[in-house]
Amino acid sequence: MEDKNQTEVTEFLFLGLTDHLHQQIFLFVMLLSVYLVTLGGNTGMIILIWTDPRLHTPMYFFLSHLSFVDICSSSSIAPKMLCDIFAEKKSISFTGCATQMWFSGFFVVSECFLLASMAYDRYIAISKPLLYTLIMSQRVCVQLVMGPYAMAFISSMTYMTLTFSLPFCGPNIINHFFCDISPLLSLACADTSMTQFVFFFLAGSIGILSGLIIMVSYVCILAAILKIQTADGRQKAFSTCSSHLAVVSILYGTLFFIYVRPGSTSSLDINKVISLFYTVVIPMLNPLIYSLRNKEVKNAFRRKFERKNSLMVLVR
């Protein structure tokens, strides 16, 4: 009888980022600009990779999927967040919240394991260059991409099912700008200790497994680089990994700070700022890092630009 008398939550309300108008205007302009750059940069990267034959290699095959994941990851959060900035009632339906949580989690986990696949690819390229094309066949590349998506699907379904099988009977105010697990669990009308343990175990396992693959790959890469006789050869080998290392450091550092360290209610506002960084800013940074630090990508952009100018001259 008590369960029947409880009012089930049908929607959630976000507290959002700020209630001050000047800050809202600044955030809207900044976040809209970041989101547009994210869409343009990652879409441009995908088009460049798929249209330039010189970039039809395993490394850029993985990079095109990373760009796709960044577009989807940002799009699962940013449009709703931008609409809510000036809204008095920042609401989302129960089903909408579950959907947003699933997609945002799916693409974050996908990115972690895609970066692990990319680390393995760099290890093969540097340590076994003569066998690289044989080992990194099209079939292997597809498996190394489908694996991260499969892992992400399983983990997202697990924690979404566990979270939304809990009773929510009020309050329904989420101290965040999107449906994240930690603030949602604090609203459940039941003991969440088991769900929190499973989530912590899943997050830790994902971080340790993908991080271990990356660490072992780079230990082997370092050993291979040290065996290279010339300084120029070492520099060239290391330069192929520098962009990937930068992306890994930024993403894993941010996720570790939010999800792996012990949380507290007082740190929710800090978590909102850092969540904003990894959900909106990092997807924008990835194509910039790869385009600015990668000679092949810069050369491909230059070829496209020169070809476009040549076509314009011919038309005139």
- pLDDT tens digits along 229-251: 787 778 877 777 888 888 888 88
Residue type present at position 86: F
- Condensed to tens digits (0 to 9), the pLDDT of residues 139-174 reads 999 999 999 999 999 999 998 898 988 888 878 888
Q: Is 52 within a domain?
A: yes
Q: Is 2 within a domain?
A: no
Three-class DSSP category at 11? strand
Q: Is 225 within a domain?
A: yes
194-216 core/surface letters (b: 16 or more CB in 10 A; e: else): ebeeebeebbeebbeebbebbee
Nearest CA among 204, 202, 210 for reference residue 113: 210
Q: Is 1 within a domain?
A: no
Q: Is 3 within a domain?
A: no
pTM attached to this predicted model: 0.87
Per-residue confidence at 267, pLDDT binned at 50, 70, 90? low
CATH number of the domain to which 90 belongs:
1.20.1070.10
Domain of residue 45 covers 10-315
pLDDT at 116: 95
Number of domains in the chain: 1
CA 53 – CA 50 distance, rounded (Å): 7
Q: Is 290 within a domain?
A: yes
Residue type present at position 270: I
